Amino acid sequence: MSANSFGHVFRITTFGESHGGGVGVVVDGCPPRLPLTVDDIQHDLDRRRPGQSRLTTQRDEADQVEILSGVFEGMTLGSPIGLLVRNTDARPEAYAPFKDVYRPSHADYTTEAKYGIRNWQGGGRSSARETVGRVAAGAIARRLLDVAASVEVIGWVRRVHDIDAVVDVSSVGTDDVESNPVRCPDGAAAERMPAAIEAARRDGDSLGGVVECVARRVPPGLGDPVFDKLEAQLARAVMSLPASKGFEIGSGFAGTHWRGSEHNDPFVPGPEGGPPRTVSNHSGGVQGGISNGEDIVIRVGFKPTATIAKGQDTVDRSGHAVTLEAKGRHDPCVLPRAVPMVEAMVCLVLADAWLRQRAQDVLPRD
């Protein structure tokens, strides 16, 4: 299994480096006859792209996607879908001062320890620019989930540093999230977050936080027991994103403070003889590793951006102590642009799980 590939039936392979000719993805396993246009993909790429506001890196990339294969006359063919986004504002020379220096909390040293070689121009495959391919593929997965199962996936910024948002997970909508550049649906918190991010930038520093995401109308039965539990797949997916450091589903770590009688989700009859529902959703829509039909709710913790302008102690490739003062175009906070990345990974997991369940559930039930 390639480390650059993800998924079983709906399977993606990303390619490209941060400051190379371009980045992209090959999507295999997408069913034929799915209506799909460039605009369906471009919408999510526009939400991920750099230079959206003062809160993000000022690298100027339009991130215009090209469909190279797998789509004809607005329909998927069932063959591999090749997507390419060309790098147009790469400045590899800006990273020359870092060529022989290990940047703190970056993948410089570990990549070299593994491969004996590394692309020092912007971090290569470890750069968040690699996520262009994921978001493009996630847009196709989102389209499949919408058309085939009416599944909706929405993410937002739940916290920046110590500023927490108050969000009604059951009702938050895309318009609420996209109403401000920080992508926080809580107006009061959204007013405070940009100032905190700007203050960190002025100090030559950065901030971390939490992205929350909900998947609605997920049918029951997705996921598998033991090693391929749905929450395990989701955790693996979002924890593969750059700068991610924590994962929760449902009550998460807060649930460890409760008793079983408080945490259990009682079942009640479903409407009009439909599947049963739960009164609460502390499980986050997954029980025993399998979706139960309730909203799937996850949270992902992102560390502060590793590249900062403040002087930091480190070493060079010869082992000599040096002080690094990084300069360049970097996000002082990854959270606003991480929202579409988290959504993409959730969509990829659910699309793959949905197709796997469809492949398994072919015999009639009593």
Query: Which two structure tokens, joined as six digits, stand for 22?
Result: 């371009």
- Per-chain mean pLDDT for the chain: 93
Q: How many residues does the chain have?
A: 366
Instruction: Return the ∠ at Cα 41 (arms to 37 and 46), rounded to 5°.
Output: 135
CA distance 317 to 179: 46
Write the burial class of residue 284 (CB in 10 Å: 0-12 exposed, 13-18 middle, 19+ buried).
Answer: buried
pLDDT at residue 14, as a whole number: 97
pLDDT at residue 135, as a whole number: 98
pLDDT band of 149, cuts 50, 70, 90? very high
Sign of the Cα torsion 301, 305, 311, 315 reads positive
For residues 240 and 107, is the Cβ–Cβ distance under 8 A? no
pLDDT at residue 54, as a whole number: 64
Position 3 pLDDT exceeds 70: yes
121-135, 180-194, 230-244, range with the lowest pLDDT: 121-135
pLDDT band of 262, cuts 50, 70, 90? very high
Note the pTM of the prediction, 2 decimals: 0.95
Q: Where are the domains of the chain?
A: 5-250+285-360
For residues 156 and 193, is the Cβ–Cβ distance under 8 A? no
1-10, 143-152, 212-221, range with the lowest pLDDT: 1-10
**pLDDT tens column, 354-364:** 999 999 988 98
For helices 230-239 and 335-360, angle between their N-to-C axes, nearest 10 degrees? 140
Picking from 101, 104, 132, 102, the residue whose alpha carbon sits closest to that of residue 18 is: 132
DSSP letter at 227 equals G
DSSP letter at 269 equals P
- Report how far apart, in Å, the C-alpha atoms of 114 and of each of 108, 110, 118 are: 10, 6, 9
Query: Which two structure tokens, joined as six digits, stand for 189?
Result: 């918190």
pLDDT at residue 197, as a whole number: 95
**pLDDT tens column, 305-336:** 998 888 899 999 999 999 987 776 678 999 99
pLDDT band of 288, cuts 50, 70, 90? very high
CA distance 283 to 294: 9
pLDDT at residue 126, as a whole number: 86
**pLDDT tens column, 69-124:** 999 999 999 999 999 999 887 676 777 777 889 999 999 999 999 999 988 877 77
pLDDT at residue 53, as a whole number: 61
Residue 334, SS3 per DSSP: coil
CB half-sphere exposure, 26, CA atoms < 13 A: 8
CATH class of 5-250+285-360: alpha beta
